[in-house]
Amino acid sequence: MAKNVYQFIDVERIDPPKKPIMDRKNGFAEIYHPLTNSQAEGQADRCLDCGNPYCEWKCPVHNYIPQWLALANEGKFIEAAELSHQTNSLPEVCGRVCPQDRLCEGDCTLNDEFGAVTIGSIEKHITDTAFKMGWRPDMSGVTWTDKKVAIVGAGPAGLACADILVRNGVKPVVFDKYEEIGGLLTFGIPSFKLEKDVIKLRREIFTEMGVEFVMNTEIGKDVPFQDLIDQYDAVFLGMGTYKSMKGGFDNEGADGVYEALPFLISNTNRVMGLEKDAADF
């Protein structure tokens, strides 16, 4: 059956509906309901499959967006997840937190007149649905080497590095000073935007793939950096940026003025039961 090339007119753009205001007021879970399969398929069908896909070029990792939208339109969420993971180690995270309005959706051909394809919501739906269906990255074709790499920092950069290495048969050992992986994905972004269970599931998947995590371990304090140099074939540094720049405003150091990042980290420690000292909050 031929594709209806005017589907973008017949089907309006829809965003995931927000949860009832009382639910949002009384809880801190993600504030949007997920798309249904039929909604995701219908929204994916709005894609024009442009000859020059501006969405893909605007994406920092150049995701194969038109291709996995086409698979989602056919209800092939597992195949779409496999394709999505070829360019992105954390698509379920990017679908939630990327500024799509300034990236892929902002450059969508339909954006100005008809409303961009809901790329971010579909990206999230693809991976969430595939995981629920039991899909996991296929490691059966990996040829393991005797190489081992130390990765300092379990944030997005460190996790992406570990993902690429393990898929190529190199053993990644990820060190982080916190108890949970994710870096600022876990400790900087509140649950109403990115729920903690999303990263916990990703940790389970990475562990199944062969990634080793050494948590509660600060390199340079608990483990000398020289040990990494001596014991590993390579070292990747992905500690992130935890020290913010000062604004230079009058009285920014006055009593009652708190920096956002230490507050967010302390709040997450309390919410997740990781708080070591009440004075940290």
Separation between Cα atoms, residue 155 and residue 186, nearest integer Å:
9
Asked if the model's pLDDT at residue 177 lies above 80, the reply is: yes
Q: What is the CATH number of domain 7-132?
A: 1.10.1060.10
Three-state secondary structure along 70-91? HHHHCCCHHHHHHHHCCCCCCH
The residue type at 26: N
Backbone angles phi, psi at 253, to 5 degrees: -100, 15
pLDDT score of 272 more than 90:
no
* The predicted structure's pLDDT at residue 281: 56
CATH 1.10.1060.10 range(s) for the chain read 7-132
Q: How confident is the model at residue 278 (pLDDT cuts 50, 70, 90)?
A: low
pTM recorded for the entire structure: 0.91
pLDDT in tens, 199-226: 999 999 999 999 999 999 999 999 999 9
Q: Whole-angstrom Cα distance, residue 39 to residue 91?
A: 19
140-271 CATH choice from 3.40.50.720, 3.20.20.70, 3.50.50.60, 3.30.420.40: 3.50.50.60
Residue type, 223: V
| pLDDT over threshold 70, residue 2 | no
DSSP letters, 158-219, are: HHHHHHHHHHTT-EEEEE-SSSSS-THHHHTS-TTTS-HHHHHHHHHHHHHHT-EEE-S--B
Domain with CATH 3.50.50.60 in the chain: 140-271
The yes-or-no verdict on residue 1 having pLDDT over 80 is: no
Q: Are 129 and 37 in contact (CB under 8 A)?
A: yes
